[in-house]
Structures are given as C-alpha cells and as structure tokens.
Amino acid sequence: MEQGQSAILDGSFKRQSERLSLMDLAEKTGARIQFIECRASLKIIHRRLEQRSLQPKAVSDGRWEIFNQQRKDFDPIVDPVRPKCFRVKTIRPFEYIIKQLHLMTSQKIT
C-alpha cells in the first residue's frame, strides 16, 4: 500500500477489532479501504462447501463446521466499518457481481 499498489486481503475478519485495525493501517498509509460482505442462503453455502470438500486440490480449508462456528461468533458490522462495507449476494453470476462491485466502489471512493 505504501508503494501505491492495490491489495486485496481475503479473510473472514469476523472481529470488529480486526476490521478497525485494518482501517487504522489504511489511514496511516493513506490507502483507501473497502470491505465486502458476501452473502448467500445457508442452503447454498452448505452445498458449496460440500462440493468444495469433494475437490482433491481445493485451495480453501473452508468446511461447514468452520462456517457454522464463525457464523455464531461473528461480530456485527457496525460503525465506523459499516459505511465502508458492501454487502454482495453471491447467488448472482460472477461477472454481474464484479460489475456491481466496480460500480459501487467507483461511486463511493473518491
């Protein structure tokens, strides 16, 4: 970020304190920050995680058990993070989601 490059951090960031730390780092380095909350029904999430577990070379260790535990103790997204967070329904086609995110970020970030 200090070198003027973009970065995407992938993670659950389930604790508000983690999100606030990222916002603090962004402010210190002069970086713009946006959070993306991906949403889908529990049925779809379960199906996707089951399908992923069947893939021999899956790049994620995501499992239904882990998801359920994280869901139970996920801190709500509240201020000051909320204005910097986009909620995305991941049931739509990937190309549509990317286009919507591009539109949202170009309108919100100045």
Domain annotation covers residue 3:
no
Q: Using 50, 70 and 90 to split pLDDT, how confident is the model at 1? A: very low
pTM, to two decimals: 0.78
Residue 79 has pLDDT above 90, yes or no: yes
Q: What angle do CA 44, 88, 6 make, to 5 degrees?
A: 125
CB-CB contact of 13 with 74 (8 Å): no
**Which residues, in sequence order, are CB contacts of 85 under 8 Å at separation 6+?**
34, 35, 36, 37, 77
Q: pLDDT at position 35, please?
A: 92
What is the Cα gyration radius of the chain?
16
* Residue 9 located in a structural domain: no
Has residue 10 been placed in a domain? Answer: no
| Domain that residue 25 falls in | 16-108
Report whether pLDDT(3) > 80. Answer: no
